Amino acid sequence: MANEEPSILQMHDLHPAPGAKKERIRVGRGEGSKGKTSGRGAKGTKKRYQVRPGFEGGQLPLYMRLPKLRGFRSPFKKEFQVVNVSALSDLFPQGGDITVEDLVSKGAVRSGYPVKILGDGEATAAFNLKGVVASASALRKIEAAGGSVAQN
């Protein structure tokens, strides 16, 4: 008994887990459970056929009570991540060359999206920006501080 080899699992030993195979409910087969009206109650719409999804019994349905969503959302619109000049001054007080990767590493933007610099605040150092787009006011402030923007 102590030197008994472990049994190998074989196809004829496989059984479904308890409760995995439920017996199908046969309705309308005598007066027992689910007999006669088959659990649908007496008379009415829900006994005879299903009502359509969203039907609220004659009450004005929710989807008709809510306003229609107007407009159009272009699938080709570019959604820019915005960074203000004041944020650049806070993140890079010495100025210098700044790329999108630098902004991502500082946590100003997420990677994979185009970046636009906006003109809120003042440029305290010369920023040489690469791979970004800048608004006209941001461009004026950056160039006034001695920096440049290489538009992509």
User: What is the reported pLDDT for 26?
Assistant: 93
CATH number at residue 117: 3.100.10.10
pLDDT of residue 139: 95
Q: What value does the mean pLDDT of the chain take? A: 92
Task: Count other C-beta atoms under 10 Å from residue 58's C-beta.
Answer: 6
Q: How far apart are CA 133 and CA 82, in angstroms?
A: 10
Assigned domain for 114 exists = yes
In a domain, 52, yes or no: no
In a domain, 147, yes or no: yes
The verdict on residue 70 lying in a domain is no
Q: How many CA atoms lie within 13 A of 112 on its CB side?
A: 1
In a domain, 92, yes or no: yes
Q: What is the pLDDT of residues 83-102, one digit of tens each?
A: 999 999 999 999 999 999 99
Count how many domains the chain has.
1
Residue 5 within any structural domain of the chain: no
Angle at 118 between CA 116 and CA 119, to 5 degrees: 155
Structural domain includes residue 141: yes
pLDDT at 6 over 80: no
d(CA 34, CA 15): 30
Residue with tokens 């102590």, as numbered in its chain: 2
Mean pLDDT within 53-80: 94
94 occurs within a structural domain: yes
Q: What is the DSSP string of the chain?
A: -TTPPPPPP-GGG--PPTTSSPPPP--SSSSSTT-TTTTS-SSSHHHHSPPPTT--TTSPPHHHHSPP--S---TT---PEEEEHHHHHHH-TT-EEE-HHHHHHTTSS-TTS-EEEE--S---S-EEEEEEEE-HHHHHHHHHTT-EEEE-
Q: What range does the domain containing 103 cover?
A: 81-151
Whole-angstrom distance, CA of residue 126 vs CA of residue 38: 81
